[in-house]
Structure 1
C-alpha cells in the first residue's frame, strides 16, 4: 500500500484533522508528507470496527494506525534521541494508563500511556520538536494520543521499524497454510486464558508452533514445514469472510519483503 493511497483513503473520509492550534491543509496529495510536528490525520469511520495495529517508522518519524487492516490515522511522532534509541521489532501493548506519571524520569507526565516494554518504552502524549528527542518512548501529539488510546486494547500489535514503507495487504502466508503437526502430540489449554488477542509464533528452527492468548501460552505442537525458513516475517489477520482469510504483512527491520508477496510466496499459499 503506497503512501499516496493511504493519503487518499484518509482524505476521502476525513472529518477533521487538527492540532492544538491549526487546521490541516486542504490538499490531498502529499498531505502525509506535509504534516508538521504535532499534526496528524484521523478518519476512524473508514473502518468502524475490527482489530487495531500500529506501525511506527523511525525513518519518517510517523505512526500509522490501522483498524481491520485499513489505515484510519497517521501522526507525526518523536522517538528516541542519540544514546536513547527506540528499539525496533514487534511489540504488544502491555499496560494502558491515561494519567501515567513516570517513576523513572522525575515524575514526568506521560498522558495516555501505552506500555510496550517493562523496561520503560511506551507510546504517550508529549512534546514533538520535529526530530527524535525522547528517552526511547514514542511521543505522540496529545490529541492523537487520546484518540488512539480510545480505540486500542491490551495485546494489540505495535511494530517499530526503520522502514519508511507501510504495511501492505498480502495473501494467506504460506507458512501458516503449510504448517502441520508432525505427530499427534500437542498441548491445548485454552482455559488458562479464556479471552483476549491471540498470537501465533512459528519457529522454523525448532519446528514448533506456540499459541499465546493475552501473553499466556495456551497451546503448542510440533510442525512440519515445506522449506527452510531463513528470515523472520510478521502478519496480522485483517478479516475472515466468504472469500477466505485476509492478511496484512507488517514491515520488519531488514526484511526486504515488506512489499507484496512474491510469486514464489503466493505459490506456497
Structure 2
C-alpha cells in the first residue's frame, strides 16, 4: 500500500447523537458498537481548539479530535482491493459542498474535502461496513456535512493501517538543548531581519500568507522543511548525535503552553503537542531529544515563532523528495504525475 505525507493547505466534528443518515440510534455504548452509517457527535466536549481527523483502515472508522479531546466518531468506507486508500499524514487541500467525480461516471461526492491532487478525499457516500470505495474515505452524509461545516482548508488528516490509538500529550523535543542561552531579555531571532550571511538555512516567510503551518523533519536527509499554506518558507539542516527513531510520527500543536521554557529557547515557553501518529513508547520523553537533535537556534526560533495551534510536525525516517502537490512519497515508490482534475470515489 502506498504511504505518503501530503504537505499542503490544512482540520472536525460537532449535539450529542448517534445517527444514520436518516434515523437516530441509541446513544448508550454506541461509540464502540456503531452500525454501518452511524456516528457519534459530541462537539460540546471541546468547543474550541485545533481539530484533527484520524481514519483507521482496519476499523473502518473516522475519529475527530478537538484540542486533544475526541468529539466525534463515525463508520467509514475506504478503498477496496486494488484501490487502496494511502496511509500517512495529509492536509485538506480543497473543499466543495457539491462535487462530482470525473473519473467514475460523475459519481456524486458531497461535502468533498480533498487530501491529494490525484483523487483521494473525504466525502459523503455509501458506508456498507467494509472497504468499498475507489480510494476515498466515504462518510455518512449527515456526519460529512457536520464535519465540513467545522473544518478549514489546511486541517490535518491522519490515515493509518493500525487500529486507532487515543492521541496522547507528548514532547517531541523540537527545540532540544544545544546552543548557549541568549542574553536575558533578548530574542534568539528577529523575524523581521534577513537571514544572516552564511547561516546555512533559508527563510522566506513573506512567500506565503498567514495560515496553516506544517513542519517536516527527515531524519534520513537530516533536514527540516517548513511549509505554510502549502508553500515552502524555510529549510535548514539538522544534526543527530544519537540513533534516530524509526518510522513516521506526527504531532499536532495544541492551545496553551507549558509552565517551563523551551530547552534551547529559554526566552520562549515550551509548547503543548499531541502525538497523533506513531509508536508512543518513547513519548513524552522526547523522540528527538533522545536522538540528540541539533540545529541552528536562529532557524529553530523562526520555526517556533510562526507556529499556531493546529500546526503539524511530522518526524520521519523517509527521505524528502520534491514531488507534485508537495507530496513526499515513500522511498521506492514512483512519483505519480499530478492530476489536478482526477477524483476517486
The answer as to 2:264 corresponding to 1:249 is no
TM-score for the superposition, normalised by structure 2 = 0.67
- Residues 19 and 121 of structure 1: is their aligned pair in 2 closer, same or farther, counting only changes over 3 Å? same
Cα deviation code 1:39-67 (max 9, x no counterpart): 00011121112221110000100000111
Tell me the CA shift for residue 180 of structure 1. 6.6
- Residues 259 and 42 of structure 1: is their aligned pair in 2 closer, same or farther, counting only changes over 3 Å? farther
Number of the residue aligned with 2:343: none
Does the 8 Å CA contact 2:244/2:288 hold for their aligned counterparts?
Answer: no
Q: Which structure has the larger Rg?
A: 2
Number of the residue aligned with 1:4: none
2:219 alignment partner, one of 204, 207, 212: 204
How many angstroms apart in 1 are the aligned matches of 2:101 and 2:55?
22
Number of the residue aligned with 2:176: 178
Number of the residue aligned with 1:6: none
How many angstroms apart in 1 are the aligned matches of 2:236 and 2:201?
4
- Residues 187 and 265 of structure 1: is their aligned pair in 2 closer, same or farther, counting only changes over 3 Å? closer
Q: How does 1:151-170 map to 2 (within 5 A)?
A: 151-170=150-169
Determine which structure has the larger helix proportion and give its number: 1
Number of the residue aligned with 1:76: 75
Count residues in correspondence.
249
The answer as to 2:283 corresponding to 1:261 is yes
Q: How does 1:1-269 map to 2 (within 5 A)?
A: 15-28=16-29, 31-174=30-173, 176-178=174-176, 184-231=199-246, 232-243=248-259, 244-252=270-278, 257-258=279-280, 261=283, 265=287, 268=290
Moved more, 14-23 or 40-49: 14-23
Structure 1 residue runs without a partner (length 5+): 1-12
Tell me the CA shift for residue 152 of structure 1. 1.0
Classify the secondary structure of the residue corresponding to 2:25: coil
Does the 8 Å CA contact 1:167/1:251 hold for their aligned counterparts?
Answer: no
Does the 8 Å CA contact 2:171/2:287 hold for their aligned counterparts?
Answer: no
Which stretches of structure 1, 4 residues or more, deviate above 3 A after TM superposition? 262-269
Higher relative contact order (CA 8 A, sep 6+): 2
Does the 8 Å CA contact 1:85/1:135 hold for their aligned counterparts?
Answer: yes
Cα deviation code 1:82-126 (max 9, x no counterpart): 111111111111111100011111111100000111111111000
The Cα RMSD (Å) is 2.4
Tell me the CA shift for residue 71 of structure 1. 0.9
Does the 8 Å CA contact 2:55/2:158 hold for their aligned counterparts?
Answer: yes
- Residues 260 and 63 of structure 1: is their aligned pair in 2 closer, same or farther, counting only changes over 3 Å? farther
- Residues 229 and 149 of structure 1: is their aligned pair in 2 closer, same or farther, counting only changes over 3 Å? same
How many angstroms apart in 1 are the aligned matches of 2:23 and 2:281?
34
Tell me the CA shift for residue 259 of structure 1. 5.7
- Residues 259 and 76 of structure 1: is their aligned pair in 2 closer, same or farther, counting only changes over 3 Å? farther
Structure 2 residue runs without a partner (length 5+): 1-13, 180-197, 260-269, 293-345
TM-score for the superposition, normalised by structure 1 = 0.84
